[in-house]
Structure 1
Amino acid sequence: MEIVPFSKYCTESEHCIIAEQNIATFDWPKQQYVEDTYRLASVPEGITNGWFHLIDPSSGSYIVDQQNIRFAKPFPAWSLQDSQLDLDSVNLKRIEGTALVIGGMKNHWHFLINFLPRLIMADRFLNSDFSSISHVVIHEPTGAQSQLLQTMYPDLNFLPISNKSDFGYQFDNILYPHLPRNVHFSSELLGLTRTALTKFITPSGKEPNRIFVDRNPETPRRRLYDREQMLGVLNKHKVTSVFNEQFSLTEQISIFKNARLVVGLHGAGLANLMFCTSGTPVVIIDYKWPSEMNSLAKVLGLKPITLLAEQMPIEGVTDRRLWDLKIQSRQLTATLENATNLISD
């Protein structure tokens, strides 16, 4: 059984591609627009696993997800010899019906930026007709993710599969959509996802309209250095500190949808920019340029300002990406004044 990427599987073999669309995407590391082809494949007797790869027994293909490094290699629970899979050695669970394989991750950024758009694209390819779908195969979601999925698609039968399961899951048919690349942002696809996410939510009006996406000061992971001093500067500009983890996902949507100004530290929490109204100014405290946070904001039609920070070592933390971020109060003051002038009436 040959290991192949999904793009090669779609273009070099005889497979049932039931939908295809070219979409302009922004390659944020290269800071340029490219064109990606999104496809939806139909695979009779298809098999998937805990890493949501696709196995096509008829063609002898093992299709890997090359969009996320963690899942780009074959499923480690299965034994391979010379990059070949012996399907007879796999414990298979047979499930009747047609499955739409979406997968997912508990990581908030990848859930919102990669996997929900994958579901939205499948929805579009199927013209919102899921009548033939018996199961939507996903990862084991967090409580917040599960609540959101059930709110968006109350009639779908979601089938969670653990990343640690060593079984193969074979269906009468598998529908397998393209997974958006980590480094490519599509304004069209993300816009569709934002609309789908926010149409159920109406802010109460009690949410703060200027927010700082804060991090727990007790957790040694990319915190704001000299936090108390910086909070003083933020307070002078009527910016309220919020911790995403203290709110349900629907409450987070409401907070960001209502926000007129967002300030935040580089990290998965800024995936919530997905919920902001177009034109919202965003101050991103970051350690690098270009960055996925700034590029996401641009693609979403927001007004991003990146405030480059100095990385401050944390005892016991060797990964520089997780070090605390230090900025000067005068930098923050000037940036906030600039951002405030960008707030639309």
Structure 2
Amino acid sequence: MLENLEHIRNYFSNYVKLIKFKLRYKKLNKISIKDITDSVILMTDNGESVSASPKYINQRQHILRYHMVDIQLYHLENVFCNINSSSFVTQDIKRIFIEEFPYISCKQANYSSGFLFKHNSENGYIKNIKIDEAKIIKNALFLGGNGSFNFYHWMIEIAPKLLLLDNSLLKTKKINKILINECVIKNDNYNQILNKYAKHLTDIDFIFINQNKIAFVEKLYFVNTFNQTVYNYKEIPKNYQVMTIYNQIILERMKICLSNSISTGQFEAHEKIFILRNEDTVSEYNNRKYNQSEVFSFFKNQGFIGVYPDKLTIDEQISMFKFANFIVGPSGASWSNLIFCTKDTKAISWIPESLEYFDTYSSLAYLENIDMRFIKYEVEGNNIHQPYDIEVNSLITLYKNMTEVF
């Protein structure tokens, strides 16, 4: 009798959960961005690029080659979008277009962000759209996507798409508005990056969209992501595969565009810098506190200057990385500035063991001819966002290995 009651109780509990889920989320048919036929090629495949795994002591570095993707301007009509998601929903709310990383299967990746709650290879589940609350826009270029609030994603992945546009193309397509995450106008550095990348464009209005809002665009244009890191994994790979792609031609354009106004002596320069983590600006979710004082103490005695990149202007960050010859610090978005380093700069960073193949910054360093090496640290339960301790002796050994003169 008791067992039957428990069975009935579980049945109704699961039924209520299912009803609540259906009230909050809607199941749509998933379509890949690559299946959109209305597009204009902005740059064709320019040969191979290289992906490189992190370099560790006594461990082989993996080097993989891949073809750079064609860069295209895509066109969709009558779609809903959220500035924090690289996906678009059709007007009838039956289909969702999702931009996928080109070199792994959809089964491995997790593109959930913004209004996209979860997905599989056939379907996407979105938070129910309140149609009457959507901001209606006639014609616009979408310059948002997964991680558009993050310094790396904004500077390296999203904003550089502006470099592929010209006034003639925008005029032909009647594009005079660009949709951008509202956080950009609230952050001086993000705004400076926007202005530098868009300085060649005229007669364009920037429309800053709150990341919690939905827009409905009658004629929407967007550029596929040619510098891209897999946003999240459903299951972290046990072997190395391409997880980050870069277009080397665009990387060079980015470097010139962002740094051509920086001159020698304009800002204080240091040969050795240590990236300090500003705990006041991180979220509870991203609580990666570590024994920073202990680690920095060693490097300070070696002549390193501690810097908080997020407290510097973008020009100061560029200058700091450009004139340094040795950089040390935890993995994080500040390493986006590697593109400004000179050839043969040395660097040390660290990542959790579960992410031993995380190649975003190791690949960037490889392409820029920077000698960047890593150590791994352990976390409980593979929670990469929790506090941790670095084994200082391992860092000391690595540093001495990199500075020893034979």
Is the shorter-chain TM-score for this pair beyond 0.5, marking a shared fold?
yes
Q: Does 1:295 align with 2:363?
A: yes
Q: Does 1:232 align with 2:297?
A: yes
Question: Match of 1:179, as an amino acid?
Answer: T
Q: How does 1:166-181 map to 2 (within 5 A)?
A: 166-171=214-219, 174-180=220-226, 181=228
Rate the CA distance shift 1:190–1:56 in 2: closer, same or farther, 3 A.
Answer: farther
State the partner residue of 2:98.
64
Rate the CA distance shift 1:96–1:221 in 2: closer, same or farther, 3 A.
Answer: closer
Q: Does 1:264 align with 2:329?
A: yes
SS at 1:22's partner residue?
Answer: coil
2:149 to 65, 81, 106: 106
1:125-150 Cα distance to aligned partner (Å, 9 max, x none): x4886555311222222412123212
Q: How does 1:1-345 map to 2 (within 5 A)?
A: 3-9=30-36, 14-23=37-46, 24-27=48-51, 31-43=63-75, 45-50=77-82, 51=85, 53-54=87-88, 62-67=96-101, 69-71=110-112, 75=116, 90-91=131-132, 93-97=135-139, 99-104=140-145, 105-120=148-163, 122-123=164-165, 126=166, 130-131=170-171, 133-140=175-182, 141=184, 142-143=186-187, 144-154=189-199, 155=202, 156-171=204-219, 174-180=220-226, 181-182=228-229, 183-186=243-246, 187-203=248-264, 204-216=266-278, 221-225=287-291, 227-288=292-353, 289-292=356-359, 293-306=361-374, 308-311=375-378, 319-329=383-393, 331-340=394-403
Give yes or no for contact 1:64–1:74 (8 Å, CA) kept in 2: no
SS at 1:113's partner residue?
Answer: helix
Question: Match of 1:323, as an amino acid?
Answer: P
Give yes or no for contact 1:253–1:275 (8 Å, CA) kept in 2: yes
Q: CA deviation at 1:234?
A: 0.8
1:232-271 Cα distance to aligned partner (Å, 9 max, x none): 3212221111112221223212211221211111222222
Give yes or no for contact 2:155–2:193 (8 Å, CA) kept in 1: no
SS at 1:304's partner residue?
Answer: strand
Q: CA deviation at 1:217?
A: 6.0
Aligned pairs, how many?
Answer: 319
Q: CA deviation at 1:213?
A: 0.7
State the partner residue of 1:79.
none
1:204-246 Cα distance to aligned partner (Å, 9 max, x none): 2522221011113677833442x33332321222111111222
Give yes or no for contact 2:96–2:124 (8 Å, CA) kept in 1: no
Q: CA deviation at 1:89?
A: 7.7
Structure 1 vs Structure 2: percent identity of aligned residues? 17
Q: TM-score, normalised by structure 2?
A: 0.66
1:83-103 Cα distance to aligned partner (Å, 9 max, x none): 699xx9844644344x22221
Rate the CA distance shift 1:101–1:245 in 2: closer, same or farther, 3 A.
Answer: same
Q: CA deviation at 1:178?
A: 0.9
SS at 2:137's partner residue?
Answer: strand
In 1: Cα distance, 2:298 partner to 2:130 partner = 61
Question: Match of 2:44, as an amino acid?
Answer: Q
Give yes or no for contact 2:137–2:216 (8 Å, CA) kept in 1: no
Rate the CA distance shift 1:321–1:179 in 2: closer, same or farther, 3 A.
Answer: same
In 1: Cα distance, 2:33 partner to 2:278 partner = 39
Give yes or no for contact 2:41–2:70 (8 Å, CA) kept in 1: no
SS at 2:44's partner residue?
Answer: strand
More strand, by proportion: 1
Q: TM-score, normalised by structure 1?
A: 0.76
State the partner residue of 2:25.
none
Moved more, 157-166 or 234-243: 157-166
Runs of 5+ unmatched residues, structure 1: 77-81
In 2: Cα distance, 1:84 partner to 1:71 partner = 9
SS at 1:147's partner residue?
Answer: helix
Q: CA deviation at 1:56?
A: 6.7
In 2: Cα distance, 1:297 partner to 1:62 partner = 35
